[in-house]
Structure 1
C-alpha cells in the first residue's frame, strides 16, 4: 500500500511519524485554514484487504470571527438602536437606517456564501445570517406598525380651523389638540418597548440554540472519529 500526499505551490505536506500527524511545511506566506488531526483507520467488513483512513480537519475560525460574525453582530445591534435612540415619530430616519443595515447584511451573506464550499444542507453560518436578516426585518415591520399608529394619532387629534378675514374664509389651519396627546402616543411607545423585549428574548434563545448546536455537532464528530482505531508508532526490533 502506497500513500502519497499531493502538495500545492508554496506548501508541501509531509508525514510526521513522531506524533502520527500530517505536517504542512511551506513558505511564510502560506495560509492554512485547517488543522489536521492524527490518522485513524478502520477495515472494510466485506473485504479484509481494504483499509480506510480517516482524518479530522479542524477549521481555524479566528479569521471568520473578525470578518463575518463580529461585523454582523455590530450591524444588528445598530439596528436595535433605531428602537431606543430614535424618536417614535421620526419614521424616515428609523426606516432608512434599518433598510441600509439589512442591505449590508444581505450583501455580506452573499459574499461569504460564494467563498464557502457548497453543501446540500444548511451550514451554521447560513442559519446565523438567516437569523440576522430575520431580526432586522422584524425591526423594519415594527417601525412600520409604529409609524401607522403615530399617523393615526395625528389624524385623530388634529382639527381644522377656518381663518376668517372680513367675513371671508381665507385658509384652513390644522391645530393639534394637546388633550389626549400623551395617551395616544403611548400606544406607539408600548409597541416599541414590546418589540425591544421580544428582540431581546429572541437573541437569548438564538444564542443558546447556536451554542448547543455547535457544541453538540463538534462533540458528535469528535466522538465518531475517536471511535476508530488509532495508528501506532512503528516499533523496531
Structure 2
C-alpha cells in the first residue's frame, strides 16, 4: 500500500514542480504532538507575551467567496508543499521557524525544535499528499495600475468592509494609516503592500498581499477607503 501511494504521487501531475514531494514520506520528520501544535498555532499569547496567531495570516481552508482576505495561503495541505514563503524555503520546518521569527517577532534562539515539530505535526494532520499542489506565488507588479486612482463612495464602502475584515488584526486604529508620522499616498500604499517598496526604511522588500491573495480591484477599494478616512482625520 505504501509503495502504491508513492507511485501515485510520482505520476500525479499536481507534483510537476522540480522538488520531490516523496521526501516527506520516505524521510518523515521527527514525531511531534499534533494536539500541542494546534494549540501553539492558535495561541494569542506565547510565553507571556501577546503575539499574532497562525490564523491571523492563514485560514485553515478558504471558501470560493469570503469577506476576509488572508495574506498567507491556506494551511490545509500545506505540509507536503515543496516550497514556502515565495519559494524562500523548501522545508516545512524552515517555513514555521521563519513565520515565528518574522511575524510573531520571536527571537530565533527562543524557538525550540519541539515547537516547530509540534506545529508541523498538526499541519501534517490536516494535509494529504494526494490533494497537495504547488502554490502560485506571484511576484511584485512592474507598474502601478491606473485603477487605484478611482475614488467614489461605492468603492469606499466596499473598502471599509474589506479593511475591517482583513486588516484590523494588525491595524487596530486610524493611526496605522500613517507611517512614521507621514500620511501615505495611494502609490505608497500600493507599492508597500505589493512588495515593490520597503515597508520601513531598513526592511527588505516583501509583499504583504501578492496578486494571488488580493486582487487589484479589491486593493483599489481598500486604498479608496484609506484615502477617504485620511481626509476626515
- TM-score class, shorter-chain normalisation, is under 0.3
Higher Rg of the two aligned structures: 1
Indicate the structure with greater helix content: 1
What's the TM-score once normalised by structure 2's chain length?
0.22
Indicate the structure with greater strand content: 1
Relative contact order, CA 8 A, sep 6+: which one is greater?
2
